[in-house]
Chain A
Amino acid sequence: MRILLVALLLLAGCSGSNNQAVSYFHIETPRPFGYVIGDEIPQRIIIETRPDVTLQTASLPAKGPINRWLNLNRISVINTGQHYQIDLLYQVFYAPLEVKMLTLPGFKVLLKQGEQTDSQIIPDWSFNLSPLRELAVRKSDDGEYMRPDAAPSLLPNTLNVYGLVVSLCLAFLIAAYLCFLYGYFPKLLRRTLFKQALRKIEALSKSDMDQALTTVHQALNSLYRQPLFHNQLSHFFQLNPQYQQMSSELDWFFTYSNRYFFTSGMVVVQLDLEKLKELCKQCRKIERGSQ
């Protein structure tokens, strides 16, 4: 009889209805110390509710500043059935002068079942914040304050430096060659006028006499810095006395050129071209300073 009475009492105890909306509640927090200004502090809240109970996400704190030193950077809610995982990521902007205990403020999560509303309190969470600056520990005025970090050891970059030097040298050489081609070194160009002219006319035949004569004219024009004509030869020799020894050859050249370009019926022979090449060679020697 006594046993029957106990069993009835236990049955009556178990048959009573459970009115709690939250069946499981748990907060995962990180270590409560060792934070400095700017650190982010994650917090995970896991709530499991009874069937037909839903979590009101509007009751969660909004992303943005919580107070003057605390910011909620991110908030996410993952809901799988009656299981809610709430991830919060705070960032601290408090600048303590000594180790200070601060508190992440708690809040209340609202749960709804039909017309009824229940709540789950998320408690405050305290942690220690350390100063980043040594203001609090400075003892003397002449002590070194704001010491720099130790310089990191440099990575070996010898190969890169060599590559850079070689590239720069190559670029410089190419730029110099381009400048030379564009005629930005008139002095240097004038030192190689007949060299270039000779190179051009060496490949020409007597049928290209027009081109050969023009090439030599251009070399002489460049040397004279303006078009040189037959009647200006004396002035040319005044400016370039080293070419005076070529006066008879240059006189022949201009007479021949005038006949070739400005009269009709001129017959060109191979000897004329050879003579022109020889003149160019002699001028090249003078230009090089070897004659």
Chain B
Amino acid sequence: MSKVITILVILCCLVGCIGKEEIDDLAMVMSFAIDKNEENNNLIITAQIARPGNVTGDTGGGGEGEPIWTATSEGETIFEAIRNLARFSSRRVFWAHNFIIVVSEKVAREDGLVDIIDFFNRNNELRMRTWVVISEKDARELVATKTGLEIVPGMSLDRLFRYSDIVSEAPRSDVMTLTSAYLGEHTHPYLAMVNIRDRGINTESPEEFGSIPQVELSGTAIFKDDKMVGKLTAEESRGFLWFIDKIESAIVPLSCPEQNDRRTSVELRENKFNISPYIENDTVKFEATVKTKPHLVELGCLTSKEHSEIVTILEEKVEAAIIQDIEIMLAKVQKEFKSDVLQLGRTFEGKYPGQWKEMESSWDDIYPNVEVKISVKSDIKNTLLLENPTRPAKD
């Protein structure tokens, strides 16, 4: 019997060989774009695929060819387009290492994202933390662009989002946040927007200053159900991020006290945001509270004042700037786009479930006119390394 058991155990171990994939047979997708062919309404997909043999590591090695291979194909559905890629790809397309899915604004506005959400949720290879973004231009252009410091551009895009919290100008949207917002009752999705701009500098011909196109964050795409209805600029997105993410850091440029032509900037740190619904005279209202402890990171002011006097003035300016950011954003999201991406309805339901049932069906009509009171408390305690503002001793 023990021999039989041994044989059975060995046989069981071989099960993993069924459907095995050799790494050499795989075309590992690093980034992926979805566009639309306007002539026949087909989807055009573009996959940026790594050539591991030509990716030079830190310790050297690797071939001399291009580290990536970018290919495109077309089909009526995403799956058909991907299968059509297999007509000329010498390897099987493998999604597990994909960093980012870029969807063109045209697809997001005209066709919607439900097909994309469904397909990538059903696909067992894709990571749920794969970034999903909207491209202002053709998505394939963006995927084909060599951007960032990394050898594989897809990896650069991944890190662009991974560390985007230091600029706080676009949300970090992935398959999971997109799915969750789309499936949720009375919640709508939002996605980061990206664009290509000439930002890189060619060191061999520096006279062509800023001639190399690079991918940059350019704001937030706002959806109603699965269709894009509008976008927030990078500046407007600063106000938006308070509501949907934890802001680790953000820069607020300000004018100097009593010197409007000179600039100073503070970095928002230790930020806390709270949104609380309340009912006043049978009307739904919200109170948004921001608490921040900014660092004074730059003071380009010619001033005889001490830090203690300056920060008092700057604190007021910071508070006004944050309130302005949020008000501009609210005006767009509530009045113009009429999409509850801020999840105000869900927040209200959480606190007032009884009242929510009464207004649930009419929430879409109520939402654009809901008042959101904003209060900001800024407390600058840290001037970093300097005891006094930078000024010559002769003053």
**Chains A and B form a bound pair:** no
